[in-house]
Amino acid sequence: MSTNLKRRQFLKTASLALVLMPIVTYSRQARANTNSKVRTDLKYQDVPKNDMNCTSCLEFIPGKTDQDFGMCKVIPGDNEISPNGYCTKWNTM
């Protein structure tokens, strides 16, 4: 009988995990947004140009850590701006 209960518990847990997996995946995707049109217009790239990168730009809003994606004041609705990125609106003044 003990083996039967362990098996039932395992099956319940596995079933719950399968049900929750798409929800967790969807919620992660829902938080990631890019504004492709504005990125293209501003020639945004994920790598710096010379010594110019998003970290040193006044328009950049950093993420939780120095390596996390952040946001940019001139690229609305985009929360996947690389701290090492660059665009034509790079500004230090």
What is the per-residue pLDDT for 26?
Answer: 55
Q: Looking at per-residue confidence, does 45 or 22 come out higher?
A: 45
Tens-place pLDDT, residues 30-58: 567 889 999 999 999 999 999 999 999 99
Q: Domain check: are 14 and 48 in the same one?
A: no
Tell me which residue range forms the domain holding 44: 33-93
Q: Domain check: are 56 and 69 in the same one?
A: yes
Residue 61 reports pLDDT greater than 80: yes
Q: What DSSP string describes 10-68?
A: HHHHHHHHHHHHHHHHHHHHHH----HHHHHHTT-BSS-BTTB-GGG-TTEE--SSTTS
Side chain identity at residue 21, one-letter code:
M
Q: Domain check: are 27 and 47 in the same one?
A: no
Q: E strand or H helix at 3, and its extent? A: helix 2-31
Q: How confident is the model at residue 4 (pLDDT cuts 50, 70, 90)?
A: confident
Q: Looking at per-residue confidence, does 33 or 11 come out higher?
A: 33
Q: Give the whole-angstrom CA distance, residue 9 versus residue 6.
A: 5
Q: Domain check: are 38 and 82 in the same one?
A: yes
Domain count for the chain: 2
Q: Domain check: are 4 and 45 in the same one?
A: no
Mean pLDDT, all residues of the chain: 86
Q: Domain check: are 10 and 38 in the same one?
A: no
What is the per-residue pLDDT for 60?
Answer: 97
